[in-house]
Amino acid sequence: MSIAGKIAVVTGGSRGIGRAICLKLAAMGATVIVNYVGNQAAAEETAAAIRQQGGTAEVSRFNVADPAETEAALKKVQDDHGRIDILVNNAGITRDGLLMKMKDEQWDEVLNTNLKGAFTCIRAVSRVMMKQRWGRIINISSVIGFAGNAGQVNYAAAKAGMVGLTRSVAKELASRNITVNGVAPGYIVTDMTKDLPAEITEKIKAEIPLGTLGEADDVAAAVAYLAGEEARYVTGQFIHVNGGMFMG
């Protein structure tokens, strides 16, 4: 599963699932660009952890919700390294609330980061990948994008939109040997979920056939497969990493 010599950009790579993905791709030999927007210390910790395990990493601050900022940052990566081989669109936010009480700002912030941000990153890297005639684009959706969830209409819409984005771009770029796939995590142990009250955690587990929450490394393993040559004939697909919570 080596991707030695490849340049991988992981948005939202400083913590949680993003950090696990960064560590996994680096362990496979890629030079990893750890994107962050607000927590430089966490991003530097991720990069340091990669270097400690013998890998190569650097950090890059840009807000995927800002197209100009994103395009400039990705151009710099291309200028510095001469190529971009792997893009993982992992950056995401939540602004939960019931439909009747949801403000326009809550909707716009989530859609601009979680969906438009992925579009902007894909558009920026597609040019260099087409010239290379090789690329791997991996979009991180969510079980919520497939099953829906009360109180998360903005998040569900953005993550469902990621599915259509993935499949459409897969068809556009396939002739240039660029695959575009997605991973849809279920409930994963992260900073956001580990502090949930015990009764809520147990209720969630009861809805999962495997009876437990997933780990960030479970998601990273799926990304690793899609990033390598073993998945060369897989495009426009989603891997569901959810313990059986949703079977689509």
Give the catalytic positions in this structure: 155
Starting at the edge strand found earlier in the chain, the sheet holding 56-61 runs 56-61, 31-36, 7-10, 86-89, 135-140, 178-185, 238-241
As a whole number of angstroms, the distance between CA 233 and CA 123 comes to 22
The structure tokens 């002739």 sit at: 175
**What are the DSSP calls for 172-233, one per residue?**
HHGGGTEEEEEEEE-SB-STTTTTS-HHHHHHHHHTSTT-S-B-HHHHHHHHHHHHSGGGTT
The pair of three-digit structure tokens given for residue 9, joined into one six-digit string: 């950009």
The pair of three-digit structure tokens given for residue 219, joined into one six-digit string: 């998601």
Q: Are 135 and 174 in contact (CB under 8 A)?
A: no
Give φ, ψ of 145 to 5 degrees. -70, -20
